[in-house]
Amino acid sequence: MNLRRDVFQAIADPTRRAILVLVASQSMTAGAIASNFDTARPTVSKHLQILTECELLRQEQNGREVHYHLNPVKMKEIADFIEPFRKFWDDRFNKLEAIMKQYKTNK
């Protein structure tokens, strides 16, 4: 399997996560995205390529410009993957909190 196409590999990088956050609010051209970073333009292009390859971003031709969109379906896939684990701990800790609040008032 091509590691670069791995979604989790893709979001492990802080610059790529920042790109996703940027594009989440509005679709943008590569140039507009790059202007938000101090990183060299080709580096940003490389990040965009990786994000596109693993389908977190989608390209759309807009006249002569290419806009990058967030792919919400793929994003949800990632969020859902870890969410049950988080929920498991959240439920447990909520229980702990409730029990100890009770314990405090009983003292």
Partner 1 sequence: MEMKTKVHAENGKQEILITREFDLPLELLFKAYVEPEIVEQWMGTKVLKLENKKHGGYQFETTDPMGNKHGFSGAIHEFTPNKRITRTFEMENANFGAQLEFLEFEKLTDDTSKLVMHVVYRSVEIRDQILQMPFVQGINMAHSKLESVVGKLKA
Give yes or no for a contact between 23 and 15, defined as CB atoms under 8 angstroms apart: no
Nearer to partner 1 among residue 40 and residue 98 (C-beta):
98
Closest separation in Å from C-beta 101 to partner 1: 7
Q: Which residues form the interface with partner 1 (CB under 8 A)? A: 6, 8-9, 11-12, 80-90, 92-97, 99-101, 103-104
Nearer to partner 1, 12 or 24 (CB): 12
Closer to partner 1 by Cβ: residue 76 or 95:
95
